[in-house]
Structure 1
Amino acid sequence: MIQAEGYNLSRWLLSLPYLQRSRHGVFRYRRAVPLRLREAVGKREILISLRTKNPADAELRLLQAHLDAETWLRALRPDSPIEPLRWPSRTLNPPASTAPALRGVSLALPVPLKAPQTPETSQLHPVTLTGALALYLRLKEGEFATFKGRQRQVRLNEKHRVIRYLTQALGSDKAVVALTREDARSFRDFLKSNGLAPGSINKNIKIAAAIIQTTLIEHQLTIRNPFHNFHVANEIADRDARLPLNKEEIGLVLRLNMNEELSAIVKLLTFTGARLNEIAGLTWDDIRLSAAGREIGYIEIRANAVRTLKTANSRRTVPLISAAEYAILQYRKTITDTPSPSAPAFPRYGRPGGSDAASSALMKAVRKAGITDARKSVHSLRHALKQMLREAGCPKDIRDAIQGHASGDIAENYGLGHSLKQMIFWIESVFKNTKFLN
């Protein structure tokens, strides 16, 4: 019998559907195969080891095992919806120690249940929050497959955690069509009351919005996503939270002795204003030099086999000024073999988790350069170009096009966008006569 902080966990954990413990104490997912499918499947039951004796891990892995089993069964019965996992009564809620909880959150007390949904609402569409998560993970399976081991598990756990917290905030596994703006506020307040910073709250809300939006699109529902454009204002202004590097500091970073890949990456960060993962995840096919007969060289920032993009607006074409092209040509000279077009341009960092490794190495370089202000980091290079473009009088829509920001003006989403000539004019203007280009 499992004990933790004086609470009998067996009663709650083993009341979860399909959860059992083996005689060795390892938790497992065990479920009978429906009679009509047994002949096709060739077995009577589904048995998935959760590979843990830890109650908190078992609770988290149970949902993933259920989603895997449901996805597999749905391939055999495509007309059947994915069955959400039915959680036991809130009176059996586990204490905080049994679940992956927010820092400082106590889940020992049951969350009060809200009024049940009306039959009419439930019958309009049966997809609940748990079902929405299952659909989202199934459709994003290819994206998650690009991550391996711990990186993949971290991203999966993040999505599971958001839906769990949302379910706790609302008091039930609510139907997607029944969600309201008030539910979004309840979720915000739940996270805020448990000590999350505004940035973390906004991240949770953004993930919830993406999961819900997937269900709305796939089931052709025309209702508004209640989490759309919903966020918490950060009490610390962006300009105070993160500062741009000045030109002298940029010069210090560019002159540091780094490996060939980092040296090329930091130059591209400086002269394009791109995000670190966008540059670290470039393939050779994403880099088009003017030396190949083009009037203007550029990089194509798009989703590829190496990494995805942060937002839809992140997909863009950014011109390369001569200093950026020279950095790439110098880097190419250090490569002996002819790379495949689809190969990562920076193989040390063009991999799942590679941008984190690049960030760590570059942060050491930034501090080594004598830049010790905690508000200045690698990302400050992106802020630096944005600040210089603003001071040079570059129009906001062109700044947004260069850096992949949403304009806010729907009309800007139509047409072919801004030309490379327009963008390179402004980028060249801010670096003109700078000492670190000499």
Structure 2
Amino acid sequence: MLTKSIPHTFIRNGYYYFSRRVPADLQGHYSYHRIVQGLRTTSPQKAKVQASITAAKLEAYWSQMRLAKSDVIGLSLVRDSSSSSQEVASNQPQTNCPSLLDALEVYLEQKGKGRPKTFRVAAERSCNYLIGLSGNKPLSGYTRQDALQFRDWLIVRGLTGSSITRNFSYLKAVINFALSEYALDIRNPFVGVYHD
């Protein structure tokens, strides 16, 4: 039975589980009508954060699936992007570039020592929000468009200005630290994004 205090969760043997019904219009993509995943925690606070992140990832993924299925005006006018995307890929050496999760791991390893748990949770939450929205790309793969989309998504979620600033601060810190550690000459697209 789902818990009322934490949306999309239930408890089994003292542990929290995430549970979400697949929307009717997307059930053709799934082999089962419900998604269930263990959150590996008995703590209500941790379960609430993890369930919120997982739900946000799912919503973002389902939005992408719906967009992929929809008819887009002017699609017949779009040039074949496979050749141009290959050119862009060849111009951006991403072979040795760490992903955002790699950057987060290095950041928490180095900067998280002696810090309270809230430091780790906040950094993970901000990065997981972005991964749920844009995917776990190499750091060189994130663009200004990703940053603007992330800002707009946080606003739509109803976050206050200070919460949006905090999420951007953690993302910038994680990315900047990794760029410094790996000596990468990449501009951080999350720097200087305006929000009211």
Q: TM-score, normalised by structure 1?
A: 0.30
1:99 partner amino acid: S
Go from structure 1 to structure 2 and tell me whether the alpha carbon gap of 1:100 and 1:9 turns closer, same or farther (over 3 Å shift): farther
Alignment-derived partner of residue 158 in structure 2: 195
**Count of aligned residue pairs for this structure pair:** 152
Q: Is the 8 A contact 2:104 2:124 kept in 1?
A: yes
Q: Distance in 2 between matches of 1:187 and 1:4?
A: 25
Secondary structure (helix, strand or coil) at the match of 1:182 reads helix
Go from structure 1 to structure 2 and tell me whether the alpha carbon gap of 1:101 and 1:3 turns closer, same or farther (over 3 Å shift): closer
Q: Distance in 2 between matches of 1:164 and 1:155?
A: 14
Give per-residue Cα distances to partners, 1:388-437, cap 9 Å, x unaligned: xxxxxxxxxxxxxxxxxxxxxxxxxxxxxxxxxxxxxxxxxxxxxxxxxx
Alignment-derived partner of residue 153 in structure 1: 117
Go from structure 1 to structure 2 and tell me whether the alpha carbon gap of 1:218 and 1:52 turns closer, same or farther (over 3 Å shift): same
Alignment-derived partner of residue 99 in structure 2: 128
Deviation, 1:208, is: 0.6
Alignment-derived partner of residue 84 in structure 1: none
Secondary structure (helix, strand or coil) at the match of 1:112 reads helix
Give per-residue Cα distances to partners, 1:213-244, cap 9 Å, x unaligned: 011111111121111222313xxxxxxxxxxx
Alignment-derived partner of residue 37 in structure 2: 13
Q: Distance in 2 between matches of 1:162 and 1:214?
A: 15
The answer on 1:222 being equivalent to 2:174 is no
Q: Distance in 2 between matches of 1:188 and 1:180?
A: 13
In structure 1, runs of 5+ residues without a counterpart are 15-26, 28-49, 61-97, 234-438
Q: TM-score, normalised by structure 2?
A: 0.61
Deviation, 1:52, is: 2.6
The answer on 1:112 being equivalent to 2:57 is no
Deviation, 1:140, is: 0.5
Give per-residue Cα distances to partners, 1:196-223, cap 9 Å, x unaligned: 1222112211111111001111111112
Deviation, 1:123, is: 3.8
Q: Is the 8 A contact 2:172 2:190 kept in 1?
A: yes
Go from structure 1 to structure 2 and tell me whether the alpha carbon gap of 1:58 and 1:179 turns closer, same or farther (over 3 Å shift): same
1:195 partner amino acid: G
Secondary structure (helix, strand or coil) at the match of 1:52 reads coil
Secondary structure (helix, strand or coil) at the match of 2:42 reads coil
Deviation, 1:169, is: 2.1
Greater length-normalized contact order (CA 8 Å, ≥ 6 residues apart)? 2
Go from structure 1 to structure 2 and tell me whether the alpha carbon gap of 1:221 and 1:153 turns closer, same or farther (over 3 Å shift): same
In structure 2, runs of 5+ residues without a counterpart are 1-11, 23-31, 69-80
Q: Distance in 1 between matches of 2:99 and 2:192?
A: 22
2:47 partner amino acid: D
Percent same amino acid among aligned pairs? 24
Larger Rg: 1
Give per-residue Cα distances to partners, 1:357-376, cap 9 Å, x unaligned: xxxxxxxxxxxxxxxxxxxx
Go from structure 1 to structure 2 and tell me whether the alpha carbon gap of 1:197 and 1:101 turns closer, same or farther (over 3 Å shift): farther
Q: Is the 8 A contact 2:57 2:129 kept in 1?
A: no
Alignment-derived partner of residue 231 in structure 1: 194
Deviation, 1:160, is: 0.5
Let me know the Cα RMSD of the aligned residues: 3.9
Q: Distance in 2 between matches of 1:229 and 1:183?
A: 13
Go from structure 1 to structure 2 and tell me whether the alpha carbon gap of 1:6 and 1:182 turns closer, same or farther (over 3 Å shift): closer
Secondary structure (helix, strand or coil) at the match of 1:161 reads helix
Q: Distance in 2 between matches of 1:130 and 1:202?
A: 21
Q: Is the 8 A contact 2:94 2:140 kept in 1?
A: no
Alignment-derived partner of residue 164 in structure 1: 128
Q: Is the 8 A contact 2:19 2:34 kept in 1?
A: no
Equivalent residue runs for 1:270-419 within 5 Å: none
Q: Is the 8 A contact 2:103 2:174 kept in 1?
A: yes
2:110 partner amino acid: L
- Structure with greater helix share of residues: 2
Alignment-derived partner of residue 186 in structure 1: 149
